[in-house]
Amino acid sequence: MNFEKFALHEKIFAGVRSQGYTTPTPIQLQAIPPIMEGRDVMGIAQTGTGKTAAFVLPILQRLMQGPQRNVRALIIAPTRELCQQTHEVIGQLGRRTQLRSASIYGGVSIRGQIKKLNDHVDIISACPGRLLDHLDRGTADLSHIEVLVLDEADHMFDMGFLPDIRRIVKSLPAKRQTLLFSATMPSDVQHLANDLLHNPLEIRIGRSAPVETVSHRFYPVQMDTKTDLLKDLLDHTERESVLVFTRTKSRAKSVAGRLDKSGYKVISLHGNLTQQKRQKALAGFRDGRYEIMVATDIAARGIDVTNISHVINYDMPETTDAYTHRIGRTGRASKTGEAFTFVTNQDAGLAHSLKRSLGDKVAYHSVDGLTIAVPADPASRPGRKHSVTGVKTHNGNGRSFSPKGHGNKSSKQRSFKPAGHRSWS
């Protein structure tokens, strides 16, 4: 199957070709035809599946027909980065069309946005807060919207945006096409979908677990050894771009600072940065000036960098859904990726439930002198001794695992082959 089958307008097809897309991804295969027919669609798909083009292409196709005077399509997304990225995808795929899009989000001057909206704009890619601001000022007219897209709806729910979305929807014509994309389906998102979508076609791509192209390693570790372990992994892993997640903004900054001092090309991305600095950091990470980015969850939403070979959870995410989102940053568009997660004893509960959901895809690994024993599953019966079975060695050196401080060589003394660490399944 190729893109010709969708019978896209020649100018849109030229945009597809310019991006080098030859084969539609599964979500594109399943979603593009019904969206082109005008149906409401609920897509349960993770990031990295090609979902942006799955809704952008039919929108461009629709807007090529009819008057090009008003804003006719609205895409709402949780973060500035995602809004900006979608705006850029529209620009790339629609480059040969006359259609114009605007990205609307906070943290930048509203004046430029008002000016743009006064010009001719066909598509808006917006974050809820700034869009409401424009609606309150009367500087955005959504009365001609034909298509509404709610992207990463579960994350908009996490960020408390659902009331804003309901307010925005009141400014839209009741007769419209509505598309909702979400990696997971919490009940509040399901309720929103029930209220806003009419007889939607439900498309599920993969299960609600991290993308198949990613392998997962857990490293049991103590808090104070995390940075040494991080450096060790960076030094002994064959890698392209690496995205490191921390739980807090201050830790993103401090971990990046420590790596920088050790000579790594690193940048941090977190909510305390100005929009300009965020854009600069992202651009530098995308073009390879920085090989490592240390980010918080919110800041990293919507990052589309195809050559991220590794996601490292310096701090464990708080939920399995958050894990899914983080891991979605690697293994994009069928590339393979690896996810390394540092697990402290406090993280044992979530680590074990992730392990149950991911099964064989997860293996615990050790690094001499830097990791500790695998934490016991708090859900297992009290008094039952935790045991780890099926020890595998990657480099076949037969070394057995010994916890930190038991006479191992220091990390500097150890000689490693790439991925020469040991694992348990």
- Interface contacts to ligand AMP, rule CB under 6 A: 21, 23-25, 28, 47-53, 304, 306, 332-333
Burial 111-144 (b: 16+ CB within 10 A, else e): eebeebbeeebbbbbbbbebbbebbeeebbebeb
25 vs 296, beta carbon nearer ligand AMP: 25
> What token pair was written down for 81?
């980065």
48 vs 369, beta carbon nearer ligand AMP: 48
Q: What's the chain's length in residues?
A: 425
28 vs 30, beta carbon nearer ligand AMP: 28
18 vs 262, beta carbon nearer ligand AMP: 18
> What token pair was written down for 223?
């808090």
Query: C-beta of 191: minimal distance to ligand AMP in Å?
Result: 25
333 vs 379, beta carbon nearer ligand AMP: 333
Strands laid side by side in the 177-182 sheet: 101-104, 123-126, 73-76, 147-150, 177-182, 41-44, 201-204
53 vs 351, beta carbon nearer ligand AMP: 53
Query: C-beta of 65: minimal distance to ligand AMP in Å?
Result: 23
Query: C-beta of 85: minimal distance to ligand AMP in Å?
Result: 7
Query: C-beta of 300: minimal distance to ligand AMP in Å?
Result: 13
Residue type, 164: D
Q: Backbone phi, then psi, for 346, in 5-degree steps?
A: -70, -25
Query: In 3D, which of 111, 160, 158 has the Cα closest to residue 134?
Result: 111
Query: In 3D, which of 337, 321, 274, 329 has the Cα closest to residue 301?
Result: 329
Three-class DSSP category at 144: coil
Vertex 178 angle, CA 176 and 179, to 5°: 155
Query: In 3D, which of 63, 73, 61 has the Cα closest to residue 32?
Result: 61
Query: C-beta of 379: minimal distance to ligand AMP in Å?
Result: 34
> What token pair was written down for 215?
């392998």
How many Å apart are CA 308 and CA 329, to the nearest integer? 7
Query: C-beta of 45: minimal distance to ligand AMP in Å?
Result: 8
28 vs 313, beta carbon nearer ligand AMP: 28
Query: C-beta of 333: minimal distance to ligand AMP in Å?
Result: 3
Of the CA atoms within 13 Å of residue 171, those in its CB half-sphere come to 19
H/E element holding 14? helix 10-18
49 vs 371, beta carbon nearer ligand AMP: 49
276 vs 306, beta carbon nearer ligand AMP: 306
Query: C-beta of 96: minimal distance to ligand AMP in Å?
Result: 17
- β-strand 147-150 against 177-182: which pairing, if any? parallel
Q: Are 157 and 188 spatial neighbours (Cβ–Cβ below 8 Å)?
A: yes
Query: C-beta of 284: minimal distance to ligand AMP in Å?
Result: 18
